[in-house]
Amino acid sequence: MTVIRDEKHKRELVLRLKRVEGQLRGIQAMVEQGADCERVTQQLSAARRALDKAFFQVLACAIQAPPESGARRASPEERLRQAAEILARFG
């Protein structure tokens, strides 16, 4: 299984997730304060897009990452098949 090893990539991903977390807290506050449904759905859509970007960053990492030490090197076709499986299951 591939893990995120690049520290810059890891930091960027964590920052994106923290921003999404802040968005979700803001949405919760909007709901509690009785905000207009259209504004809430707009913010939910923005948070969903931000999570999608994080998802695709992690998927790209899984495709591009070198194999773990001692693991066999997957062919490009195998990596694409694995990516397709991830997309089918979680995308």
Q: What is the pLDDT of residues 31-55, one digit of tens each?
A: 999 999 999 999 999 999 999 999 9
Instruction: Note the pTM of the prediction, 2 decimals.
Output: 0.75
Q: How far is CA 43 from CA 10, 54, 77, in A?
A: 25, 17, 38
CATH topology for 7-90 is Methane Monooxygenase Hydroxylase; Chain G, domain 1 (1.20.58)
Query: By the 8 A CB rule, do 83 and 59 touch?
Result: yes
Domain boundaries, the chain: 7-90
| 14 band by pLDDT with thresholds 50, 70 and 90 | very high
The number of CA neighbours under 13 Å toward the Cβ of 47 is 17
